Structure 1
């Protein structure tokens, strides 16, 4: 995105978050926060890191563990994110993030001695 459009895009993003985001399931909200923020690309560097931090903040605020995307899922992640941005089709990205969130519970189940 051109730098000239970033302030309005960020204002629109915050407006969406304040009015519509809370109506979504927390996992979908977290994924969309990540996807829309990184799409705006407001910083010269660190947009991916920041967007994943925002995603995990949303997850943790809702009582979910942080979602950590493994190296093995990196290509799937980039392809799903590209599909969301280029075709406005968030389904593959939401499916991926939901699966990663489910996997993020594994250390807790192990610590509790629960077989998932």
Structure 2
């Protein structure tokens, strides 16, 4: 259940302040998942909160690592949408966003594994944005076949 509308400006301000104060303490992947969860919980708009949270997700990650400019988080979430919508209320039940954070990290890991698989294939049908993404990715984050993109904090 979303908080009453009169609390939304303060809650959003607190969320942005928390991000600012913790940007050098909390890993960007974790911070982004916390932001996403809290934004959806605060529910600042009457409609489109999930879409806006996913847009912020991409923007925040792309600022941290340009690779994420080319990873369509929105499309990835569509692949596991039912699990996504289950993770949010599970967090409310336990009183923290740990379940959602772990869920999002696992899905990003899976997405990066899929990209790694594409990068190692000799598929000539990759479009230019994917080729650019894979080139940037290989320069910034080389991975060998069989390695995992697990995030260690």
After TM superposition, the score normalised by the length of structure 1 is: 0.83
Question: How many Å separate the matches in 2 of 1:22 and 1:50?
Answer: 24
Question: Does the 8 Å CA contact 1:29/1:58 hold for their aligned counterparts?
Answer: no
Partner of 2:77: 69
Q: How does 1:72-91 map to 2 (within 5 A)?
A: 73-91=80-98
Moved runs in structure 1, 4+ residues, more than 6 A?
none
Q: CA deviation at 1:74?
A: 2.2
Gaps of 5+ in 2: 121-143, 147-153
Alignment of 1:77-116 (within 5 A): 77-113=84-120, 115-116=145-146
Specify which of 33, 36, 39 is matched with residue 34 of structure 1.
36
Gaps of 5+ in 1: none
The structural deviation recorded for 1:107 is 4.7
Cα distance in structure 2, aligned partners of 1:77 and 1:93: 8
Specify whether residues 102 and 83 from structure 1 end up closer, same or farther in structure 2 by C-alpha distance, changes over 3 A only.
Answer: same
For residues 45 and 103 of structure 1, the distance between their equivalents in structure 2, rounded to whole angstroms, comes to 29
> Relative contact order, CA 8 A, sep 6+: which one is greater?
1
Moved more, 12-21 or 40-49: 12-21
* Bigger radius of gyration: 2
CA 1:58/1:15 → structure 2, altered by over 3 Å: closer, same or farther? same
Match for residue 5 of structure 1?
7
CA RMSD of aligned residues (A): 2.0
- Write the distance in 1 (CA, Å) between the matches of 2:78 and 2:145: 22
